[in-house]
């Protein structure tokens, strides 16, 4: 198909709090590459922390992990628009297919990629953070490199559900990492977008009790609607007393930290029982300090990290397709790329849960 023009609208990150809506060159696919026409791209909490200048993204005075100028966005999906040579066979797709690529662009050469642990790739390019090699989805069109992990989305899936496949995959990975059992009392701290998806996935595992902690009433109410047994406001209720009351004074079996604030970590180390499992998922804007002896000397805790959503995209797509998980109530706002300044303001506040950026090219 012959192009009408070689320019497109995109949000471009030039530095902390310096994101601009620009006309940029539309990508062209090479061998075993493809270009997708973006349908929607969510704003993640990590996008907000990157925008605000968090050290983990920008370093401490030297060169940081983010390589601007770069098009942000890793919670994207779209329609196959243009295939490079051999790309159809390589990815198993055809023009017009609705697809999503996982967040990471693996090198396929390091020990982790070669061992199947591609989500821990040593190079670790993530869509939306490194220019050229991994420009993201806040643009009308997007290049998917040869090593992208691509999955097909049913055309019957509504836009809002398709837009949460990436964060839902992360939520599934977290629940898998928790090794949740049927007789566990589970606490999920933080009922943001991914926290609410964790609640839905955890509810499918039917633990003995599912407890959610969040300061925002609307989010607690949504967590209860998604299957939580108890929702705690830490500002006005004694979370320790409530959890102890549910567990005979022992503490929860599993604590999942999804707040992204230091208080969520210290709270969890206190709430989890001896020999319990603490799963950390959040991206933090600043360092956390705790009495580290609680992990070994006092409780012998099992501390587990969870990163990205490896091998979970097909599961996320299936759960959404079967109606077992939903975006209803989670996706609260959507904006055009041109309205980026308002979108990031709303996304970085408690006035929203999940904010989507929608592409004008999606109708084309």
Asked if the structure places residue 312 within a domain, the reply is no
Tokens representing 148 are 């992208």
Query: Are residues 73 and 18 part of one domain?
Result: yes
Residues 6+ apart with CB under 8 A from 293: none
Task: Please give the pLDDT value at position 3.
Answer: 54
Query: Are residues 201 and 242 part of one domain?
Result: yes
Query: Are residues 137 and 197 part of one domain?
Result: no
Asked if the structure places residue 337 within a domain, the reply is yes
The single residue listed with the structure tokens 């601009």 is 20
Task: Please give the pLDDT value at position 4.
Answer: 63
Last residue of one domain, picked from the residues 255, 271, 305 = 305
| Nearest C-alpha neighbor of 64 from the set 118, 131, 109 | 131
Q: How many domains does the chain have?
A: 2
Tens digits of residue pLDDT in 34-71 = 999 999 999 999 999 999 998 889 987 667 899 999 99
Tokens representing 63 are 């060169």
Predicted confidence (pLDDT) at residue 275 exceeds the cutoff of 60: yes
pTM above 0.85, yes or no: yes
Query: Are residues 243 and 131 part of one domain?
Result: no
Tens digits of residue pLDDT in 277-313 = 999 999 887 889 999 999 999 999 999 999 999 999 9
Packing angle of the helix pair 165-178, 313-321 (nearest 10 deg): 110
Query: Are residues 83 and 142 part of one domain?
Result: yes
Rg value, the chain, Cα = 21
Query: Are residues 117 and 36 part of one domain?
Result: yes
Cα pseudo-dihedral 101, 103, 105, 108, rounded to 10? -90
Boundaries of domain holding 267: 171-305
Query: Are residues 78 and 102 part of one domain?
Result: yes
Regarding beta strands 185-189 and 209-213, do their DSSP bridges make them parallel or antiparallel, or are they unpaired? parallel
Average pLDDT, the chain: 96
Task: Please give the pLDDT value at position 5.
Answer: 77
CATH number of the domain at 138, please.
3.90.180.10
Query: Are residues 158 and 181 part of one domain?
Result: no
Asked if the structure places residue 318 within a domain, the reply is no
Instruction: Work out the percent of the chain whose per-residue pLDDT is above 70.
Output: 98
Asked if the structure places residue 247 within a domain, the reply is yes
Query: Are residues 101 and 212 part of one domain?
Result: no
CATH number of the domain at 193, please.
3.40.50.720
Task: Please give the pLDDT value at position 63.
Answer: 77
Query: Are residues 160 and 175 part of one domain?
Result: no
Asked if the structure places residue 188 within a domain, the reply is yes
* Alpha carbons 92 and 22: distance in angstroms, whole number: 33
Asked if the structure places residue 314 within a domain, the reply is no
Higher pLDDT among residues 248 and 5, named by residue: 248
Query: Are residues 90 and 159 part of one domain?
Result: yes
pLDDT band at 1 (very low <50, low <70, confident <90, very high): very low
Averaged pLDDT, 149-166? 98
Query: Are residues 72 and 106 part of one domain?
Result: yes
């Amino acid at each position: 198909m012959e192009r009408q023009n070689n320019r497109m609208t995109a949000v471009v990150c030039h530095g902390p709090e310096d994101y601009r809506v620009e006309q940029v060159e539309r990508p062209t696919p090479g061998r075993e590459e493809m270009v997708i026409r973006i349908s929607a791209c969510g704003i993640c909490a990590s996008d907000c922390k990157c925008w605000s200048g968090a050290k983990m993204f920008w370093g401490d005075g030297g060169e940081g992990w983010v390589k601007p100028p770069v098009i942000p966005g890793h919670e994207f999906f779209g329609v196959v628009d243009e295939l490079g040579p051999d790309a159809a066979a390589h990815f198993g797709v055809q023009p017009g297919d609705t697809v999503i690529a996982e967040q990471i662009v693996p090198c396929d050469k390091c020990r982790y990629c070669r061992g199947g642990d591609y989500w821990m790739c040593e190079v670790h390019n993530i869509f939306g953070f490194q220019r050229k090699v991994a420009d993201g989805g806040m643009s009308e069109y997007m290049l998917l490199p040869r090593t992208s992990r691509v999955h097909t989305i049913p055309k019957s899936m509504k836009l809002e559900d398709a837009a949460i496949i990436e964060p839902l995959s992360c939520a599934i990975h977290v629940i898998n990492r928790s090794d949740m059992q049927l007789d566990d009392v589970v606490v999920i701290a933080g009922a943001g977008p991914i926290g609410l998806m964790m609640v839905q996935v955890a509810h499918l595992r039917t633990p003995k009790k599912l407890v959610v902690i969040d300061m925002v009433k609307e989010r607690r109410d949504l967590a209860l609607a998604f299957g939580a047994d108890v929702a705690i406001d830490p500002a006005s209720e004694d979370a320790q007393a409530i959890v102890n009351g549910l567990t005979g004074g022992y503490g929860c079996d599993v604590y999942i930290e999804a707040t992204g604030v230091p208080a969520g970590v210290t709270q969890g180390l206190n709430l989890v029982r001896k020999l319990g499992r603490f799963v950390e998922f959040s991206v933090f804007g600043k360092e956390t300090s705790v009495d580290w002896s609680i992990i070994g000397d006092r409780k012998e805790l099992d501390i587990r990290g969870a990163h990205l959503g490896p091998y979970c995209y097909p599961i996320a797509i299936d759960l959404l397709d079967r109606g077992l998980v939903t975006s209803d109530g989670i996706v609260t706002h959507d904006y055009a790329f041109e309205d980026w300044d308002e979108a990031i303001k709303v996304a970085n506040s408690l006035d929203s849960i999940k904010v989507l950026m929608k592409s004008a090219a999606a109708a084309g």
